[in-house]
Amino acid sequence: MGREFESSQARHLFYKMNYIAALYQFTEILEPHPIRQSIAEKLEELSITGTILIGHEGINGTISAKKETKLLQAIEFLKQTLDLENLDIKFSQSEVNPFIRLKIKLKKEIVTIGDPSINPNSQVGEYVKAKDWNALIADKDTLIIDTRNNYENSIGTFKNAINPKTTKFREFPQWLESQKFSEDDKNNKKIAMFCTGGIRCEKASSLMKSEGFEHVYHLQGGILKYLEETTEDESLWEGECFVFDDRVSVKHDLSEGSYDLCHGCRMPITDADKTSSHYVKGVSCPHCYSVKTERQKARYRSRQKQIDLAKQRHQRHLGPRAN
């Protein structure tokens, strides 16, 4: 059961209090409703917290446990229950549990592109391992496409990558349609797609295949796997990588990055942004000050006050939510 932690690096991650696994796999699940119940019962028995999305197209989620053995048991149960032979897993650790409770949700899509007919179980691009990525994107006939959102791209991306400037993943199909790619492009261009952990670019590759693109590739394991396996000297990555947890961003060595997060708009912000008169902790930043209403700002101030009070009492607040 401990085979996922065979590398010294993975074992090193697990010396602190909370053990975390981000996981996904596209796989056909015919009856997600009863499976949801059995998974909920088992993971609650193991005292697992986190969020798991289950749908007809597969599973996607992040779970946490206070004991390594409990987390591994949960993963093994998911593999056996859903017959997950190719489950993509990324392990990490945190001094603070990032989740308060366990949530298992049924979804039409485990990552939302807005069209349930786009199904990686039916057709998908070709996986490219981190060690082969540089050669692919260095090819002059390759179009490199960042399938992440604009705020993620703004703090780091691959050299020469196209930024669709989406605010959410479901806008990607509209961006693709707006590009008016020619039949020559579809037949001859290599399309190299990437995202943080691999799930969005895998689904986007299915969309590209459905639109008639012949040579579609996506980075297996995403940016995080690339940073883990590629030395900085050899890397074509520029900047930091946005992550969806309290770290906000990571540097090339996967250590915590230099960005903070505006809890009014969820944009990454720098120390320089915090010197702006438009920055108010938990309320606004230069990116959102002019677009947030006074009513929203008042609500955010109240929320931040509750967070500060909870910290003073050594309690945990449910945390901020952007609107």
Where in the sequence numbering do the catalytic residues fall?
195
Yes or no: say if 13 and 91 are a contact pair by the CB < 8 Å rule.
Answer: yes
Burial of 281 (0-12, 13-18, 19+ CB in 10 A): middle
Closest by alpha carbon to 197, among 316, 53, 87?
87
Whole-Å CA distances, 169 to 156, 165, 298, 309: 17, 10, 29, 35
**Residue 125: strand, helix, or coil:** coil
Radius of gyration of the chain (CA): 20
Q: Which residues pair with 106 in a beta bridge?
A: 54
Whole-Å CA distances, 45 to 14, 81, 250, 279: 21, 16, 33, 44
Yes or no: say if 268 and 242 are a contact pair by the CB < 8 Å rule.
Answer: yes
**Residue 276: strand, helix, or coil:** coil
Give, as one character, the DSSP assignment of residue 293: -
